Amino acid sequence: MATAKQPMTTDTLQALTANRLIDGLVVYLTETGEWSTRVDDAALVPAETGEIVLAATGEQAVSTNHVVAPYLIDVETGGGEVNPTRFRERIRAFGPTVNTSV
């Protein structure tokens, strides 16, 4: 279990992400417990409680076969937008970065 030794900093927020079973698209858990394809809709929780609050929801969504392999990502909020911290997660959220459409 996470222990809150450090005082909470405003930027260490987390979101729960997964891929939706039926179409494989990247989804984020929202505050109403839905799964949205937009990272902006993600419910953000302090990193200290992320594991507890979100893991339970994720496991539930896996057990009902709605999503696959949920995990927590670090996000930053600036200018009213949600931005995953890791480069890979930014590409997952906003990519692909190359125009491959017809």
Q: Which of 3, 65, 78, 80 binds another protein (CB under 8 A)?
A: 65
- CA-closest candidate to residue 68, choices 45, 43, 35: 35
| Minimum CB distance to another protein smaller for 8 or for 22 | 22
Q: With binding defined as CB under 8 A, does residue 64 bind another protein?
A: yes
1 contact partners, CB below 8 Å, separation of at least 6: 51, 52
Single-letter amino acid code for the residue at 14: Q
Shortest spacing between CB 10 and another protein, in angstroms: 21
Q: With binding defined as CB under 8 A, does residue 1 bind another protein?
A: no
Q: Which stretch binds another protein (CB under 8 A): 9-17, 52-60, 74-82, 92-100?
A: 92-100
Cβ–Cβ contacts within 10 Å for residue 88, how many?
10
